[in-house]
Amino acid sequence: MKYGVVFHPDAEEEFKEAVWWYGNQQKGLGLEFVRCIDDAIQKIKRDLGLYPLEVENYRKKVVRRFPFKILYEIVEDNIFILAVFHSKRNQEQFQYRK
């Protein structure tokens, strides 16, 4: 089964802000961040249940090279991304998004 990817509006905003921030730090770094997030999502698609449960039904995937995590849940035939966040942030704050 093919799964679509749906971002919570706040997760999409977090992602865009991180791309912008990394892009302003060094040329090409924002694009590399996008590639790492995409790679993480592709790994989630390959093995939906591989990553540990973190908050309620949400699983956590650590992003390669960058200090970011993705919180996600499988909803019907979609991977619902609740948050794309810096690992220093408290992930419990995201449980109120839905």
**Percentage above 90 pLDDT, the chain:** 78
Residue 95 has pLDDT above 90, yes or no: no
User: What distance in Å separates the CA atoms of residue 75 and residue 67, rounded to the nearest whole number?
Assistant: 26
> Which is higher by pLDDT, 21 or 1?
21
The string of pLDDT tens digits covering residues 15-47 is 999 999 999 999 999 999 999 999 999 999 999
0.85 exceeded by the pTM? yes
Confidence class for position 96, pLDDT limits 50, 70, 90: low
* Distance from the first to the final alpha carbon of the chain: 24
Give the count of beta carbons closer than 10 Å to the beta carbon of residue 75: 12
The string of pLDDT tens digits covering residues 56-87 is 889 999 999 999 999 999 999 999 999 999 88
DSSP string of 54-86, one letter each residue: EETTEEEEEPSSSSEEEEEEEETTEEEEEEEEE
Contact between residue 81 and residue 71 where contact means Cβ atoms under 8 Å apart: yes
